[in-house]
Amino acid sequence: MHEEKFKSLTEQVASIRYEYFLKRVADTTIVWGLYNEGWGLVEDEDHNQAVAVWPDIEFALACASDLWSDYNPKEIEVHEFVDDFLPGLASDGLKTAVFMTLSDRGIIAEPLQLKQEIQDQLLLIE
């Protein structure tokens, strides 16, 4: 990814990054997270835990510092993410932190809401 595109996207507001995430994962069929004996988690303002996910490895790598310095990017195929991963998060009471940056937590989404939005996006390109 070109540095200019990376910088431009990370400087966007969370809602724009969320829309990019939906389109990008539908297009590439890959979702990225950070993993080290478990997925990288963040907390929202209500102390709900959320698994952080990104549309591209570069964005995940950029967040693999400080607390997550010993985490590595791990890909999840989009259909596995939608069919298994997100329902599993919902049943575990976890949320998703979509396309966070070092300075912004991103959109904290309910897993089943994110599942539906990704499925809708997949229908548009299939």
26-50: per-residue pLDDT in tens?
Answer: 999 999 999 999 999 999 888 999 9
Collapsing DSSP to helix, strand or coil, 99 comes out as coil
Q: Are 78 and 118 in contact (CB under 8 A)?
A: yes
Residue 35: CATH number of its domain: 3.40.1350.90
Residue segments in the chain with a per-residue pLDDT below the cut of 50: none
Q: How many domains does the chain divide into? A: 1
| Torsion angles phi and psi, residue 105, rounded to 5 | -70, -10
pLDDT score for 6 = 79
Element (H, E) at 9: helix 3-10
The residue segments making up the domain with residue 52 are 3-121
Polymer length in residues for the chain: 126
Q: Are 95 and 85 in contact (CB under 8 A)?
A: no
In a domain, 126, yes or no: no
**For residues 16 and 48, what is the distance between their CA atoms, to the nearest angstrom?**
23
**What stretches of 11-110 show up as alpha helix (H) in DSSP?**
14-28, 57-63, 78-80, 86-91
pTM, two decimals, is: 0.93
pLDDT score for 13 = 93
- DSSP letters, 82-110, are IIIIHHHHHHTT-EEEET-BTTB--EEE-
In a domain, 50, yes or no: yes
**14 CB-near residues (< 8 Å, 6+ apart):** 99, 104, 105, 106, 107
pLDDT score for 4 = 84
